[in-house]
Structure 1
Amino acid sequence: MEEETIGINEVVVTALGIEKEAKTLSYNVQKIEAQEIVAVKDASFINSLAGKVAGVTINSSSVGVGGSSRVIMRGVKSISGNNNALYVIDGIPMPDLSAEQPEGVFAGAGQTGDGVSNINPDDIESISVLSGPSAAALYGSSASNGVVLVTTKKGQKEKLSMNLTNSTVFSSPLILPEFQSTYGQSETGSYYSWGDKLTTPSRYDPADFFQTGLNISNSLSLSTGTEKNQSYVSVSTVNSQGIIHNNDYDRYNFSVRNTSSFLEDRMTMDLGFMTSHVREQNMTSQGQYFNPLIPVYLFPAGDDFSKAEIFERYDASRNFKTQFWPYGDQGLSMQNPYWITERAKFTNRKERYMINATLRYKLADWVNLSGRLKLDKNNSRYEKKFNASTNTLFASENGYYSLNETETRQLYGEVLLSINRYFNDEMFGLTANIGSSVEDVLYNQDLYGGKLHGVANLFTYSNVNPSTSEALQSGYQKQKQAIFASVQLEYKDRVFLDMTARNDWASTLANSKTKSFFYPTVGLSGIMSDLLHLKSDLMPYLKLRISYSEVGNEPDLFLTIPTYGLASGYPQTQTRMPNTDLRPERTKSWEAGANMFFFKNKLKLDATVYKSSTYNQFFEPTLSSSSGYTSVIVNAGQIDNKGIEVMANYNDTFGKLKWSSYLTWSLNRNKIVELLPGWTNPVTGELISLSELDMGGTGSYKMVLKEGGSMGA
């Protein structure tokens, strides 16, 4: 066991930021080191995890540089709720700052990045991925879909050290659709390309529309420290240009962290500050509107695309340049693709500030008391500017302007008592944690905008036509309180029994009969190579593990209480019926696995099988008008996921050459067991049941969920 090329006694960060030896865990945790994240830098470090973690699907957005990423662990579980993993920074959950996702085939213009993309990847020490509910249960309902734990760097006990890095990455489209170039337009001015055979094959190539993308990252960090005090400071810049012209992303980060010990090292204080300033421009639309790829891909074969490159021409009657696009909108609200990138501007400026403080006191050699506070504030200023002659569906003849300002503030506090003690000459061990947390999130939004009148291309509030303007002032405040505990019993450093429990009180369940929700986990693991004396040079280590868990997923805001809006100074009641019987979604899950080392610990192999069942799904059936409402959110339905995860990691050294490689494989099978078997309206007695659910669509495309079918990946 002396040679630990990979590290049998590797320490990983688990729930609540608690460090544990990997061999003691009864669930699967996959750790990614910092050098694997920054080897090839992406504007969002989450995309760098793709292919490195088994059972985790990472879909980077195609909106362009700086876009958000979707992280799905062990399959889609919820029909209408949240399916994305929770991000935790230094043990503290991060609020959901992701932009509104595209709905349907039309929306999606100007989508922006999520909150985690604001973090400087050079500040990251390591990442732990908790893909199963057993691993993530201590974080509550927010972690029902797994957790990405990010541990940031802090100062080291050494002389002053400086690290300066630069990364320059070029990008281009890998694969484009193939288009025929033999037949031309079916009629003049049409985008249909199944007309007469061309005398000379078309030379039009959609690839000509794209440019070479460029991502330049620079980072400078300083680290210094003594036995009593350590400090870390970093600054970084990211400047990116997407493969579509005018899709730009700029990010500027600054962070500082100080760790100090007092009272003969019995007290430790950790203070940190991080800020980021981001500018995003023209994130590519995912829908039909303002998507330049629609006219690029549908441009008629045989026609001259260079005409479209001169996207605006002087209009003598208006004394300024207007859009040139002789093909019309073709019923698809199409516009000149170059006009979309140059004269339909979506700009988002974001400022984020994170302040955190941790105080830890050693009451005895085997017991610690700690407290954590974090303030996370995010401000966003999102502008839309459409020049005159933009399609009249979106703007007047003079243009369009809107400004949407949002503020999100998260305040998080936690108290934790930790016990770690051995008995009977270290034959038995006890590790226990008990604590409480509160999370308070405040959100405010101010929006005003509309079509312009008076002066063309004057983008001010005063030039917005008040008769067609949109004004919105909204906000909410939600809070979640929790108590939690975990216990691990250990026998001879070979057998480990894990138990956790958590109870949440969520404000989203105000006025419901379910005031709180409780969920437990239990797990057992054993190092069989020690218990059964199976050690050998071929396989020096074998651990088997099994665990069971239950977790919840709270409903959205304002579903259990009546709400009122204001229009023209008069209150208006909601059309959705409040449901005081609403309960959280529940997921029951079990997993079993093995962790093995081979060839003197150079090869590590992890294998896991799992099955989960998510029930009490949220549905919104339509109600008859006699009820006084149009719809209601109810609990029903069940989705099952089962699968296999395999990860192999090989590390070796050949002289001065270090070799490290990963291989991951996963399989997930998803089944819709039940939708809405029957719900009775307590007001009218109406019985509602669904065996099919229409999720919407357009044209000949429609997404339908059916019992016995599957959903998502």
Structure 2
Amino acid sequence: MRKVLLLLSVFTFLGASSLFAQDRVITGKVTSAEDGSPLPGVNVVIKGTTNGTVTDIDGNYKLSVPESGGTLVFSFIGLESQDIEIGNRSSIDAVMSSDIQQLSEVVVTALGVTREKASLGYATQDVEAEEVTKAKEQNFVNSLSGRVSGVQIKQNNNFGGSTNVVIRGNASITGSNQALFVVDGIPIDNRTGNDAYQTAGRYGYDYGNAASDINPEDIESINVLKGAAATALYGSRASNGAIVITTKKGESRKGLGISVSTGFTVGKIDKSTFVEYQDQYGAGYSNYYYGNDGGPFDDFYDVNGDGTPDLIVPTYEDASYGEKFDPNLNVYHWDSFVPESPNYGKAYPWLAAKNTPVSFFETAYTVNNSVSLTGGNDKNTFRLSYTNYSGSGVLPNSQVHKNTFGFNGSSQINDKLTASVGVNYVNNDVIGRNSTGYGDNIMANFRQWWETNVDVESLKDLYFQTRRNVTWNMYDAGGGDYDPIFWDNPYWTRFENYESDTRNRVFGNFVLKYDINDWLSLTGRATLDRYNEVREQRRAIGSVASEFGINKLDEQSGYQREDRAVSEINYDLFMTANKNLSPDLNLYAMLGFNIRQNSFESVLASTNGGLAIPRLYTLSNSLQENPFPVETLREKEVAGVYANVNLGYKDMLYLELTGRRDQSSALPVGNNVYFYPAASLSFVFSEVANASWLNFGKARINYAEVGGDTDAGNVYDYYLREPNFSGGVLTRARIYKNNPDLKPERSKSFEFGLEASMFNDRLSFDFAAYNTNTFDQIMTIEVSRATGYRYKTLNGGEVNNKGLEITLGGDIIRSQSGFNWKASLNWSKNVSKVIELVPGVENFVLGSYQGGVSLNATVGEPFGVIRGTGFQIDPASGKRVVNSSGYYIAVPDQIIGNPNPDWLGGLTNTLSYKGVSLSFLIDMSKGGDVYSLDMHYGQGTGIPVSTVGTNDLGNDWRLPVSQGGGIKLDGVKEDGTPNDIYARADYYGGVFYWGNSSRNPGELTVYDATYVKLREASLTYSLPKSLLGNAIQNVNLSIVGRNLWIMHKNVPYADPESGLGAGNAQGYLSGSYPTTRTVGFRVDIDF
């Protein structure tokens, strides 16, 4: 600490000593000759001296000059330098031509500091704000997909669901691999908060990313910092990269600026991502399965009273492997036993349903309205905004309402002191998120366990007519038991067993900046991000019994509520210096302190044994005594000191050194202090290259180390409370053994890059290659139960990620007639490998799932591989081996898939002519695998069209083999000869029941996750200014679309991006929701 204070004193002394040379102050603004926009990062120097400064984010500068005047030199890489005589003026503005390197060459880096991109020795990539706002996505993060190389944006289709954002691969085995979001210097909590049952694919809700609270209408710019060297100043939490967002600010202007935006979209499901139902067979499990005279029908009851047993659909089943449809065959269906049904007491033809579950989905819509007020003068500026977003999903009773208020203000208190404040308030209300996974999930019902004879419109009519759980899936319709056995009426599920959640969030900052002199400043900043959330789940009386509540018991009704409070406070104090040490040597330096305080509080409570009064959802309405609530409090503090030095020589050679030292309360004393350095070197070779075609060229190289801590509560053991017994207080030990010897996680990364712009900026590229090792990971492994525990937290494990990134940009056509065609291409490839785990452990299970599969970290394999039963392969022919029944032979515990894509790509094209602009984005992912439980069970129960067909003999697959049916699988027999055996396909459990280890391996429902998508398209018309008058500045009319066309995919009946939600375990589909294709319009008006 003494050394740090000494350095600050030296900085202050140097700054104070220069004050004696000040005579008067020149101020001004530098703008672009092309569009009048402010130019930040421009060097302003008194000619012949080292006295100078740089313009701020708004293009403003101030500089002390001699009383005698002199000449100001304005310079910036790619811009034409200007020399302007000072004379007696106190204000000098400059307008600079920017035809080579425009505003994108100045970026906002770590801690919100504006830097000249040429001086950076690491990879960054900008995204224009318009690219993430035009389509009016509820979660703006989705709009980043395909736009940034090296960033995998995986958006599932859950209503209001989370988005997986991973930069340069998964590095942590059990920790978070999500990128850090930073808004105006405010680190944003981006957790999902989904519980263990949800992430394990059993049941529960995907509550989305908290970063979705960021209002895209307020975004000015986005800069993605990809490597550890770029994010070192943020500390360990940004080891996965950072997405740095700068919001719109006020500006000095005449009058009040008003911007109004409105947008409306409608959406329908993409039918290629939902089941295509077969229409040849109905309810049941085939004659073989039942073995009764009625075949797949019940023939035990006389329904019409004529003394003869009647044929009744087996309503207690949930499969479509029954009798072939026959319009001449009349049977009693499920609704024949519902008094309110027009079919009550009637037998009617045995036909496929006219309205399949496709008709269950509704038309989604969104409405987004935004208004902002901007104003200011040369001393004070402000921007005030309000956005209202509302919409519904494709599922009945799914709604979201979000209100966002934002304020940014700044004030130049005097020539040296500037204050700024930013405050954002977000209220987010959601009703009707969809359940996920295998449990109480309508999509699991529709995709895995359904009867193709059931008409969804009939279910809808009877629910709204009766408001009862009138289900197709009755225990025993013929015997008079009409209660649901496995599945509720889907409309009952959506309107009675619904969830709701409310989040109120405040995040903001307060900044004081004191300019000690022209090249030295001191900044103090405090930031806050806090939100309170209430999550409620309901199960109505009369529902199918399912796991519910704290005790996770099968209950037919119940109510659960969770209250959460999450907060993060950061205090920063840092000094920055930007000084020309000589005409050829520039110094940029930063020295600062940070204190971060994190808090997480939650109370989870539920009823027990069901509800006493129908439709009264309170904790006091419990049939039995409520279980102890689960109360959680976790607090953590990290104190850090950081420093950064960048030396630039002749705007050509830059050396940057960074270091940070953190002390974390979440680690044990003795191991809770960790230091991590970073160094980079960049060479702007275009400054010395004698090539007229080369506008800009730079080579860069960097090395960085990062240390990381863990969540609070992993060091020392603690106990859990149990209900009191006989007046005594009871506690019990946890099954997790904590570790007082934990040490920080570590990672080391190396990066090389090359970027250039040429041919008058018609072509540009950025190339990066990287290699990162993360080791000493903090992970929890299983231990012998003889220890008294099941799991222990320790250090161990190493994961390597290496890859390539390429970004290409070009003006394919740039004409004086006004027609322009710009294109950009992003491509990246990441290869991960688990180097080691802990001694004696070769495999770590990230998650075990229904269907006998798991996602794993296996030594020597890519991160997250899928394990399950695989094919037996004949070594001579390389073909799959079948057994004597014609089924593929299954080999247990094999690696059957790798969820990581081979490469990612995105292609953006923008064609413009005068006021008309057409833009479209093609998003691509090559390779990777996904396991589908939907196909595992769906084919076993005979639901999709892929389960019907004819064999090479011309006979129906579902006929008995003795009658010429069955399927001859491609492969060889155990003796190596070609397969000539027809496997049975005439009953549940036959050739289509993938995953049964005695027949077929789970590998048969692992699919290639490759996709090519027309992710977004927009057509914009900017009205000519001649039509607008004086009051209106701009009017833009846009037609927009998202997820318009899946041009190629291999996963049947689903979107390859679907999943349970964000997190480390990817590559598993269960009850996945279809993609929503949206189109709409947008109007933007500036006054």
Q: TM-score, normalised by structure 1?
A: 0.92
Question: Secondary structure of 2:211's partner?
Answer: helix
Question: Secondary structure of 1:52's partner?
Answer: coil
Distance 1:226 1:296, change over 3 A: same
- Deviation of 1:178 (Å): 3.1
CA distance in 1 between counterparts of 2:623 and 2:370 reads 46
CA distance in 2 between counterparts of 1:14 and 1:331 reads 58
CA distance in 1 between counterparts of 2:611 and 2:131 reads 54
- How does 1:149-188 map onto structure 2 within 5 Å? 149-159=244-254, 160-174=256-270, 175=272, 176-185=274-283, 186=285, 187=296, 188=314
CA distance in 2 between counterparts of 1:625 and 1:39 reads 56
2:653 matches 1:557: no
Structure-1 residue corresponding to 2:778 = 618
CA distance in 1 between counterparts of 2:489 and 2:115 reads 57
Structure-2 residue corresponding to 1:258 = 409
Question: Secondary structure of 2:782's partner?
Answer: coil
- Deviation of 1:477 (Å): 1.4
CA distance in 1 between counterparts of 2:738 and 2:730 reads 21
Structure 2 contact 186–507 (Cα < 8 Å) conserved: no
Residue in structure 2 matching 1:215, options 357, 360, 366 = 366
CA distance in 2 between counterparts of 1:93 and 1:44 reads 17
Structure 1 contact 313–322 (Cα < 8 Å) conserved: no
CA distance in 2 between counterparts of 1:513 and 1:332 reads 58
CA distance in 1 between counterparts of 2:486 and 2:562 reads 24
| Per-residue CA distance 1:642-668 (angstroms, 9 max, x = gap) | 111111223565444554432111111
CA distance in 1 between counterparts of 2:686 and 2:720 reads 65
Distance 1:497 1:378, change over 3 A: same
| Per-residue CA distance 1:439-496 (angstroms, 9 max, x = gap) | 1122222222224443222112221234354522221211111111111111100011
Distance 1:624 1:328, change over 3 A: same
- How does 1:618-637 map onto structure 2 within 5 Å? 618-637=778-797
> When the two structures are aligned, how many residues end up with a matched partner?
691
Structure-1 residue corresponding to 2:621 = 463
Structure-1 residue corresponding to 2:164 = 70
Unpaired runs of 5+ residues, structure 2, are 1-77, 80-97, 286-295, 297-313, 328-350, 477-482, 549-553, 724-728, 865-899, 901-1087
Structure-1 residue corresponding to 2:642 = 484
Structure 2 contact 471–484 (Cα < 8 Å) conserved: no
2:700 matches 1:545: yes
| Per-residue CA distance 1:286-307 (angstroms, 9 max, x = gap) | 2123321112223222343333
Compare 231-240 and 370-379 and name the one that shifted more. 370-379
Question: Secondary structure of 2:803's partner?
Answer: strand
Letter in 2 for 1:362: D
CA distance in 1 between counterparts of 2:780 and 2:601 reads 26
- Deviation of 1:389 (Å): 1.1
Compare 568-577 and 126-135 and name the one that shifted more. 568-577
Letter in 2 for 1:212: T
CA distance in 2 between counterparts of 1:238 and 1:557 reads 36
Distance 1:405 1:619, change over 3 A: closer
Distance 1:361 1:543, change over 3 A: same
Compare 389-398 and 430-439 and name the one that shifted more. 389-398
2:800 matches 1:645: no
Q: TM-score, normalised by structure 2?
A: 0.61
- How does 1:225-240 map onto structure 2 within 5 Å? 225-240=376-391
CA distance in 2 between counterparts of 1:672 and 1:381 reads 39
Question: Secondary structure of 1:172's partner?
Answer: strand
Distance 1:107 1:534, change over 3 A: farther
| Per-residue CA distance 1:8-41 (angstroms, 9 max, x = gap) | 8721000011101111111011111211111211
Structure-1 residue corresponding to 2:757 = 597
Structure 2 contact 228–706 (Cα < 8 Å) conserved: yes
- How does 1:263-412 map onto structure 2 within 5 Å? 263-264=414-415, 266-297=416-447, 298-310=449-461, 312=463, 321-326=468-473, 334-394=487-547, 399-412=557-570
Structure 2 contact 251–382 (Cα < 8 Å) conserved: yes
Residue in structure 1 matching 2:194, options 62, 80, 100 = 100
- Deviation of 1:327 (Å): 5.1
- Deviation of 1:95 (Å): 2.8
Compare 248-257 and 625-634 and name the one that shifted more. 625-634
CA distance in 1 between counterparts of 2:366 and 2:703 reads 44
Structure-2 residue corresponding to 1:696 = 848
Structure 1 contact 314–322 (Cα < 8 Å) conserved: no
CA distance in 2 between counterparts of 1:662 and 1:464 reads 59
CA distance in 1 between counterparts of 2:673 and 2:431 reads 42
Residue identity (%): 29
Structure 2 contact 170–832 (Cα < 8 Å) conserved: yes
Distance 1:704 1:381, change over 3 A: closer
Distance 1:323 1:554, change over 3 A: farther
CA distance in 2 between counterparts of 1:311 and 1:142 reads 53
Structure 2 contact 563–603 (Cα < 8 Å) conserved: yes
Structure 1 contact 398–457 (Cα < 8 Å) conserved: no
Compare 174-183 and 498-507 and name the one that shifted more. 174-183
CA distance in 2 between counterparts of 1:468 and 1:429 reads 68
Structure-2 residue corresponding to 1:249 = 400
Residue in structure 1 matching 2:676, options 493, 498, 519 = 519
Question: Secondary structure of 1:134's partner?
Answer: helix
2:738 matches 1:578: yes
CA distance in 2 between counterparts of 1:139 and 1:334 reads 49
CA distance in 2 between counterparts of 1:360 and 1:584 reads 34
Distance 1:348 1:657, change over 3 A: farther
Letter in 2 for 1:131: K
2:209 matches 1:114: yes
Structure 1 contact 9–23 (Cα < 8 Å) conserved: no
CA distance in 2 between counterparts of 1:587 and 1:214 reads 45
Structure 1 contact 513–582 (Cα < 8 Å) conserved: no
Question: Secondary structure of 2:326's partner?
Answer: coil
Structure 2 contact 362–396 (Cα < 8 Å) conserved: yes
CA distance in 2 between counterparts of 1:473 and 1:288 reads 28
CA distance in 2 between counterparts of 1:581 and 1:636 reads 12
Distance 1:540 1:453, change over 3 A: closer
Larger radius of gyration: 2
Letter in 1 for 2:863: M
Letter in 1 for 2:410: T
Question: Secondary structure of 1:312's partner?
Answer: helix
C-alpha RMSD of matched pairs (Å) = 2.4
CA distance in 2 between counterparts of 1:586 and 1:328 reads 57
Letter in 2 for 1:355: G
Structure-1 residue corresponding to 2:589 = 432
Structure-1 residue corresponding to 2:827 = 665
2:598 matches 1:441: yes
- Deviation of 1:204 (Å): 4.9
CA distance in 2 between counterparts of 1:90 and 1:460 reads 41
CA distance in 2 between counterparts of 1:152 and 1:69 reads 22
Question: Secondary structure of 1:220's partner?
Answer: strand
Question: Secondary structure of 2:468's partner?
Answer: strand
2:351 matches 1:195: no
Residue in structure 1 matching 2:145, options 50, 61, 67 = 50
